Structure 1
Amino acid sequence: MLAMMCSGLLQFSVRTLAVTALAATLASSTLARSDADSNNNDNGRRQVSGVNCNVAAFANLLPIATKVEKVEYVSAGGTFGEPLTDLMYPIPPTNLPELCAVIISVVSSPVSSYRFGIFLPAEWNGRFLTVGNGGFGGGINWLDMGAGVRYGFAVVSTDTGHNSTTGDIYWALNNPEMKEDWGWRSLHGTVLLGKNLVTAYYAKPIGHSYYSGCSTGGRQGLKEVQISPGSFDGVLVGAPAWYTSHLNTWIGKIATYNWPADDPKHIDWETLPPIGAEVVRQCDDIDGVSDGIISLPEQCNVNYDALRCSNGISTAASNFANSDNCLNDAQIDTLKQLYTGFTLDSTGERVMPGLLPGSENQMYTVLNYSDASPYGLGYIRYFLLDNPLWEASQYNDSILQLAELLDPGNATANNYNLTTFRDRGGKMLIYHGASDGLVPTTAGSLYYKRAVDTTSGGDVNAAREFFRRLEIPGMQHCGLTEVDAPWAFGGASQAASLGNDTYSVPGFADSQHDVLLALVDWVENGNPVDQVIATTWNSQKEPSSGVLRQRPICAYPDTAQWDGTGNIDEAASWSCGGDNSSHVANSAGSLAYTNPFSVIVDMLLGD
């Protein structure tokens, strides 16, 4: 078994070095360009810093096994994307600034390749931004690139080595090299090659490098920092699905909690919103404010008696127990398992924390509509076992053990030692919606605690010098809300949820309201991110409908506190104070863990 582990890790290290060598070759070819080539300025506005926006100019910069697929000049107000072929991101961004759009293809192994896109704005702010992906989807994230380039960044995104929608994982079947591309290699290579192309295009070095991604994108950001601490100066990590070996196997196990549909334990997805409303009723005012938002979900102790069917005889504070949505004892046990998290059948040990109260409206993503969730079933079938005939009913603890051993694609981002990233001046913000029903908020808390323990000896104040955590009450997975909670603060993919022609937070594009700009301010000006003000509108996807609520999101362990007199919908009525550390530690940090891979990885990668 140890030989298998070492062999896999050695291959991971060799492949990392190979990608780095490819980028070094690109850098050498860049430096070898002739002055005559760099001064070929016959396309007027279709060039920046002496480099033309055409295929030939970029082809001269690329090493073997890398090619230019497309180069296109985009005028101000224009659009660019792949609406007919990009299954994951078919909607192209519009209202772009003047830029040069480039698509590059890279051979990553004898049987795999990946693509990445670059937006090179005519008015460049000197910064480089990499944006992440979502789920198991493959496709260049043009929408997030479009938002990023409107800040003035040069932006890159990879397709992760395939083309599919978020829950389509069939592409991974018997394709270990494609799994590697999705797991880490395509993003790592995109960063290295993209930086060199940007440097060559503008004929000057990049000032600062940033990352922004959510969900799988959050995992990608953490993974890149772990294998290459020098890739980014600032990293924005949203709702990271970092614990691939545990998260996706747990989602597979959840099917055994909830299916088949004719079992008394089954909770129909249509019942989840009423359950959520009852949980909000119970826990809304824990923070002293009745606003329909559970602001301290870690302190919410659900009263299951109020959910249990009473057959018309109830003394509970609500009428839920007498409603058509009331739960029997078996259904209550199913709900408890979602809150508890991933436990082993053999020992009862909890190996990953569960979803928080308040996430019920989005629990359908793991309970699923008609069968086991593809995020779990598909991962086990096509990533882990390479067996499309495997059924959720066959689940047992050996699935997790195999996932921990093999970690297909080296996708799990569980190196908690961020010392090198910290020591070179890197800054990281990790954020999570407290009502996330897909990737548990507690899983983000768990990574944060383990990184603080490993890197800063458990000293949160010391860790806050480079690594801070934000929890957004009422926000679901990566954005949006079911309880009118302020949710928009410039996180990854949030602008895309407002339309294909937006960026930042409409009407509030500044470092007080936009977490990416706040991160830039921290990295470049030394102003730590103590809070960022989140916004929601009367119609949450329509900024033109007018602001409904704004509220500060406080850096852990602080929480937002109302002043007791002001308008609760205005940010000025709230301040950051208090200490939520004990409750977060109890929900996420109490798990014992071992990481047999970390020492070997550190030896192989020099981290």
Structure 2
Amino acid sequence: MENAARVLASAAALGTVFVAFPAAAQAPGACEAMEQVVIDGADVTSAREIDAANGLPAYCEVRVTARPAISIEVRLPLEGWSGKLYQTGCGGFCGILGRADSGAGVINAMRPGLEKGYATATSDSGHHGLSVVDATFADANPQGERDWGWRSIGETNRVANALIEAFYAAPASAAYFQGCSTGGRMAQRAALTYPEMFDGIIAGAPAIDYPGLVGTAFSYFLQANADEDGKQILKPGKEKLIGDEVMAQCDEVDGTKDGRIADPRQCKVDLSSIACTGESGDDCLTEAELEVVAKWRAGPRNAAGEQLYPGGIPEGSEPFWSLWLTGKPGGAPLMTPFATSFGQYMAFPTDPGPTWSPLDFDFEKDPEAISIMNSVYNADDPDLSAFIKAGGKMIVYHGWADPLVTPYKTVDWFEKASAAAGGQETLEDNVRLFMIPGMDHCGLQPGPGGISQANLDLLTPIEAWVEEGKAPDGVLKD
């Protein structure tokens, strides 16, 4: 960021707008030569040219291992480099290098930057996993936990900048970070741990308190939906029944009938209208099912009724429950393996191992027991003064209909960050939060009106803020 700040300061002094001039095309063989680049604490493992395709320019793909085990991929445009770096986070427990770029999505993906001629970079966060819900890498592995928690952010940036200077014979003039979910946590952790590293940060649906969310809240939601035998109470199939009733009662609370709930905190739902009065069936909710929904709405609490994590499952999120909360017929919801693997291998100072289940979580003592890991994983510190002092700009966005990384923690964090900065107006000089009605977790599933990650514009608003001083008013495409 220091180099970028000097460039911006010089531009401001001249009364000009910051512009990155595209670099000339690279000479033949320049990409293959990157295999010989020497980087302290890291080894280049491959370098190859990738032809232009699917809207992306031709680029040099360089893969590096930052010791001991962080796999990094850097993509360097072969011509027309913008002069800037675009770094991304990863989802879940990560472990799969470049997973977000295997499809057409934009969250945690290098695509948005590469399309604009940025050098781009990402990592697997420090381990190889069989899936993004596989946390076995952390079994008695504090180094792996640190890499996932924060170190991979800095190492990816260090390696990317070394390769940029070797390839273009010039440093990057600006650096941006984009991530959603775990990637959103990484984005906010970057602002805290590396406050001078990025000029602009985009954090989506940030899972900024993993012990509180995946440890405590997920275990609570799963226990709330388990009977005495551990079997699921609210099974797949009634999500639409509940969602339709919620929308009937809440859609117009904001004054507009549009199939979206603008703020679920303003929505008070009475589901007695769809309670079973005789035999249970697909068209009504049993007393036990109603109790599950009530507990989900209230959020995790201990025996004394004290709130253990902000809020619960938001009204309006029902269309997305089958993936995250209730599962689809014959399958478990994704919340189950997330909570299980985290509890077995990451949440506790001493890993309980593969026999542990979220049904074993003790809400009287375990929240405190797992809080020791907060410093490794979390990014919910509201003090952003170092990032603000460095001139950084950060956009945070979250779907109001997110049933996985529930939105109330993000709102709670922003309110605390506003207080720490001296008020929301002051904070918004550098950090802005946008809550999006009707959007699922990271927009992974299309919501009412088709809203999804395809509607997100993740780079244009942060560029305009950093490079032109134009503050953003949202992250959705016009």
Q: Does 1:66 align with 2:42?
A: yes
Q: Does 1:476 align with 2:450?
A: no
Q: Count residues with an aligned counterpart.
A: 435
- Whole-Å separation in 2 of the counterparts to 1:309 and 1:269: 17
- Whole-Å separation in 1 of the counterparts to 2:383 and 2:273: 44
User: Greater relative contact order (Cα 8 A, min sep 6): structure 1 or 2?
Assistant: 2
State whether residues 299 and 311 of structure 2, in contact with CA within 8 Å, keep that contact through their aligned partners in structure 1: yes
Provide Cα deviations, 1:78-114, integer angstroms capped at 9, x if missing partner.
xxxxxxxxxxxxxxxx443021110001113xxxx11
State whether residues 475 and 486 of structure 1, in contact with CA within 8 Å, keep that contact through their aligned partners in structure 2: no
Matching residue's letter, 1:118? V
- Whole-Å separation in 2 of the counterparts to 1:290 and 1:212: 33
Cα distance change on mapping 1:114 and 1:531 into 2, 3 Å: closer
- Whole-Å separation in 1 of the counterparts to 2:231 and 2:245: 21
Q: Paired residue for 1:47, among 27, 33, 44?
A: 27
- Whole-Å separation in 1 of the counterparts to 2:354 and 2:472: 46
State whether residues 173 and 386 of structure 1, in contact with CA within 8 Å, keep that contact through their aligned partners in structure 2: no
- Aligned-residue offset at 1:448: 1.2
State whether residues 61 and 73 of structure 2, in contact with CA within 8 Å, keep that contact through their aligned partners in structure 1: yes
Larger Rg: 1
Q: Which moved more, 1:203-212 or 1:477-486?
A: 477-486
Cα distance change on mapping 1:484 and 1:349 into 2, 3 Å: closer
Q: Does 1:276 align with 2:247?
A: no
- Aligned-residue offset at 1:451: 1.4
Written as runs of structure 1 = structure 2, the 5 A alignment for 1:186-225 is 186-225=152-191
State whether residues 196 and 390 of structure 2, in contact with CA within 8 Å, keep that contact through their aligned partners in structure 1: yes
The answer to which structure has the higher strand fraction is 1
Written as runs of structure 1 = structure 2, the 5 A alignment for 1:296-311 is 296-311=263-278
Corresponding position of 2:21: none
Q: Paired residue for 1:152, among 117, 124, 133?
A: 117
- Aligned-residue offset at 1:176: 1.8
Q: Does 1:173 align with 2:149?
A: no
Matched residue of 1:470: which SS? strand
State whether residues 132 and 213 of structure 1, in contact with CA within 8 Å, keep that contact through their aligned partners in structure 2: yes
Cα distance change on mapping 1:261 and 1:146 into 2, 3 Å: farther
- Aligned-residue offset at 1:219: 0.3
Q: Does 1:414 align with 2:380?
A: yes
* Gap regions ≥5 residues in structure 1: 1-43, 78-93, 313-321, 489-493, 496-504, 506-512, 535-549, 551-607
State whether residues 35 and 45 of structure 2, in contact with CA within 8 Å, keep that contact through their aligned partners in structure 1: no
Cα distance change on mapping 1:223 and 1:95 into 2, 3 Å: same
Written as runs of structure 1 = structure 2, the 5 A alignment for 1:109-508 is 113-121=69-77, 122-141=79-98, 143=101, 144-164=109-129, 165-249=131-215, 250-260=217-227, 266-311=233-278, 324-364=282-322, 365-368=324-327, 369-370=331-332, 373-383=336-346, 384=348, 385-397=351-363, 398-407=365-374, 410-454=376-420, 456-457=421-422, 459-480=423-444, 483-485=447-449, 487-488=451-452, 494=453
Q: Does 1:524 align with 2:467?
A: yes
- Whole-Å separation in 1 of the counterparts to 2:134 and 2:283: 32
Provide Cα deviations, 1:173-199, integer angstroms capped at 9, x if missing partner.
222211111111112211122123213
- Aligned-residue offset at 1:137: 2.6
- Whole-Å separation in 2 of the counterparts to 1:376 and 1:341: 15
State whether residues 272 and 360 of structure 1, in contact with CA within 8 Å, keep that contact through their aligned partners in structure 2: yes
Percentage identity across paired residues of the two chains: 28
Matched residue of 1:352: which SS? coil
- Aligned-residue offset at 1:270: 2.0
Written as runs of structure 1 = structure 2, the 5 A alignment for 1:24-43 is none
Cα distance change on mapping 1:103 and 1:248 into 2, 3 Å: same
* Gap regions ≥5 residues in structure 2: 1-23, 102-108
Matching residue's letter, 2:357? E
Matching residue's letter, 1:162? H
Provide Cα deviations, 1:535-566, integer angstroms capped at 9, x if missing partner.
xxxxxxxxxxxxxxx6xxxxxxxxxxxxxxxx
- Whole-Å separation in 2 of the counterparts to 1:481 and 1:299: 24
Cα distance change on mapping 1:264 and 1:213 into 2, 3 Å: closer
